[in-house]
A and B are shown apart, each in its own frame.
Chain A
Amino acid sequence: MNRTALVAGASGLLFGAGLAIGGMTNPARVRGFLDVFGDWDPTLAFVIGGALIVMALAWPIQRRMSAPLFTGSFALPDKSDLTPRLVAGSALFGVGWGIAGLCPGPGFAALAIEPAKAAAFVAAMLAGMVLARLVAGRR
Chain B
Amino acid sequence: MATVLLLAEHDGETLNVSTARAMRCAMALGEVDVVVLGAGTDGVAEQASRLEGARRVLHVDRPENAHPVAAVMAPQLASLASEYDVLLAPSSTFGRDILPRVAALLGVPQISDIMEVIDERTFKRPIYAGNVITTVRVPGDCKIIGTARIASFAAVAGAQAPAAVESIQVEADLPTDTVWIGLEASGGDRPDLQSANRVVAGGRGIGSKENFDLIFRLADRLGAAVGASRAAVDAGYVPNDMQIGQTGKIIAPDLYIAFGISGAIQHMTGIKDAGVIVAINKDGEAPIFEAADIGLVGDLFQILPELEKALGD
Asked if A and B are interacting partners, one says: no
